[in-house]
A = this chain, B = another copy of it.
Amino acid sequence: MKTEDVIIINNNEIASEIWEMEFLAPKISSNYKGAGQFIQIQLDPGWGNPLRRPMSIASCRDSKISIIYKIFGQGTKILSQKISGDVLNVLGPLGNSFQYKKNNLNILVGGGVGLAPIINLWKELDELRDNSYLIIGAKTKNEHIHSHNPDEHIYLTTDDGSMGLPGTVMEALKVVYENVKSSEVFACGPEPMLKQIQSFVIKNNIPAQLSVESYMGCGVGICQGCIISRRNYKNKNHSYHKKYSLVCVDGPIYSAGDVIFD
Contacts and interface: CB of A to CB of B under 8 A. Distances in A.
Interface of A: 46-49, 74
A49 B48 CA distance: 8
A244 B74 CA distance: 40
B46 A47 contact: no
A49 B44 CA distance: 13
Interface of A is mostly: loop
A48 B24 CA distance: 28
Contacts of A49: 46, 48
A49 B47 CA distance: 9
Nearest to A46: B48
Which one of A48, A49, A74 has the greatest number of beta carbons of chain B within 10 Å? Answer: A48
A46 B47 CA distance: 11
6 contacts: A46-B48, A46-B49, A46-B74, A47-B48, A48-B48, A48-B49
Nearest to A74: B46
A48 B44 CA distance: 11
A72 to B, nearest CB: 15
A81 to B, nearest CB: 10
Contacts of A74: 46
A74 B46 CA distance: 8
A80 to B, nearest CB: 13
Which one of A46, A47, A74 has the greatest number of beta carbons of chain B within 10 Å? Answer: A46
Contacts of A47: 48
**Top 6 A-B residue pairs of the complex, sorted by shortest distance between their CB atoms:** A48-B48, A46-B48, A46-B74, A47-B48, A48-B49, A46-B49
A7 to B, nearest CB: 16
A244 B47 CA distance: 34
A48 B48 CA distance: 4
A48 B74 CA distance: 12
